[in-house]
Structure 1
Amino acid sequence: MRTLLSNIKVQVNPKIYIKDPETSVLGRKIIQESIILIDEIGFDSFTFKKLGDRIGSNESSVYRYFENKHKLLVYLSSWYWSWMEYRIVFATANIADPSEKLRKAITLVTEKIEDDATTDYIDESVLNRIIIAEFTKTFLTKEVDLENKEGFFLIYKRVVNRIVDIITEISPDFPFPKSFASGIVEGSLHQHFIKDHFKTITDCNDDVSPTDFYLHLATFITKQP
């Protein structure tokens, strides 16, 4: 799968950026260093000025790629979910048993992410921490409906709907496939967060992972008549 992924360009809605950062050395550096900086100081404290100082360039150079830091965060999130979609597609393509396919998809979207060596300027393990901590900030805004119409969250929704399709394949009469699938994808981010910060309100810990929790929930789907 690594060889296949290395030959694929992750697709992001061009309406999110002004200039595609993957088309230049500076653009890739902006993406690489913004991930590291957001992870270090948090999105609220992150500014283009701080990013410019970090990459040794003017703040204005960052604005040539992104209108604002919100669009940059949406870009990073879109990149992550597109990368995740490719992983799900390739990992489940040759699995005939839909129940096993569901377990594989759940594992991929809920597990702790390691860096993918095939993407040389993006550390997916760090990006995953940003998604866990900051992803909801991409859509908990007054502009969410407009940005949704513009397709900003299309890739994220595709990931959810791929799981919906597997659930429906297993149990066509299950009444809540979309709620269950979106609960897995979004809920796993929440479980990872509270596992680290609010330990008293989750059963996930060093021995029980969010993946364990959602794989257990999935048994209720696979047992459906």
Structure 2
Amino acid sequence: MERLLQSIKIAINQKIFLKDPESSDLGKRIVEHSILLIDEIGFEAFTFKKLGQRIGSNESSIYRYFENKHKLLVYLTSWYWGWLEYQLVFATNSIADPVEKLRKAISIVSKTTVEDLSFSHINEVLLNKIVINESSKSFLTKEVDQENKQGYFVIYKRMVNRLEVMIKTVNPKYAFPSSLASTILDSTLHQHFLKDHFPTLTDCDETNLPKDFIHDLVFKALNA
């Protein structure tokens, strides 16, 4: 899988950016250091001016790639879901048993992230932390309906659809496959957030992992 991922480019909706950051060294540095800076100071305090200072470039050069920091956050979260999607597809493609396929998929989307050396300019561990802590800010906006129509969240929606299909295969009579599929992704992020910041509000810890909770929740719901 590592060799395959090395030849893969995560395809992001071109409406999210003004210039593809993957097309230049500066663009890759913008992505690389935006992840480092957002992880360091948080999305609220993050600005293109601070990012420009970090990478030794004019603020205006960053605006040639992204219209604003919201679009940058949408790009980062989209890239994360695309990266996770490739892992899910490769890991489950050869599994014939529907229950084992869904179980593997849940493990993929809810596991603790490790750095993927296939993409040297992106720290997936820190990006995962940003998705856990900040990703809701990419869609909890007044423009969400318009951005949804423009396909900003298509990769996330495709991930939900993949899980939905697996759920239907396990139990075709289950009445809420789409709701359960989106719950898998959202609850995974939420449980990781609670584990790190509000440990008294979750049973997940270093022993009882979020994926264990999600497995229990899903397969009891499906009676599988």
Q: TM-score, normalised to structure 1's length?
A: 0.98
The whole-number CA distance in structure 2 between the counterparts of 1:197 and 1:24 is: 37
The whole-number CA distance in structure 1 between the counterparts of 2:219 and 2:57 is: 52
- Equivalent in the alignment of 1:109: 109
RMSD: 0.9
1:201 positional shift = 1.1
The whole-number CA distance in structure 2 between the counterparts of 1:52 and 1:181 is: 39
Is structure 2 residue 86 aligned with structure 1 residue 86?
A: yes
Deviation per CA, 1:193-224, whole angstroms, max 9, x where unpaired? 01111111111012111011011123225535
Paired letter, 2:2:
R
Deviation per CA, 1:17-45, whole angstroms, max 9, x where unpaired? 00000000000000000000000000000
Alignment of 1:171-210 (within 5 A): 171-210=171-210
State whether residues 13 and 151 of structure 1, in contact with CA within 8 Å, keep that contact through their aligned partners in structure 2: yes
The whole-number CA distance in structure 1 between the counterparts of 2:222 and 2:147 is: 35
- Equivalent in the alignment of 2:68: 68
Aligned residues: 224
Paired letter, 1:56:
G
Alignment of 1:114-193 (within 5 A): 114-193=114-193
- Equivalent in the alignment of 1:56: 56
- Equivalent in the alignment of 2:26: 26
- Equivalent in the alignment of 1:16: 16
Paired letter, 1:147:
E
Q: Aligned to 1:101, what secondary structure does the other structure show?
A: helix
State whether residues 180 and 218 of structure 2, in contact with CA within 8 Å, keep that contact through their aligned partners in structure 1: no
Deviation per CA, 1:72-123, whole angstroms, max 9, x where unpaired? 0000001000111111111101000011110111011111100001111101
The whole-number CA distance in structure 2 between the counterparts of 1:39 and 1:15 is: 25
State whether residues 99 and 222 of structure 1, in contact with CA within 8 Å, keep that contact through their aligned partners in structure 2: no
The whole-number CA distance in structure 1 between the counterparts of 2:201 and 2:56 is: 43
State whether residues 111 and 211 of structure 1, in contact with CA within 8 Å, keep that contact through their aligned partners in structure 2: yes
Of residues 210-219 and 109-118 in structure 1, the stretch that sits farther from structure 2 once superposed is 210-219
State whether residues 38 and 130 of structure 1, in contact with CA within 8 Å, keep that contact through their aligned partners in structure 2: yes
Q: TM-score, normalised to structure 2's length?
A: 0.98
The whole-number CA distance in structure 2 between the counterparts of 1:165 and 1:33 is: 37
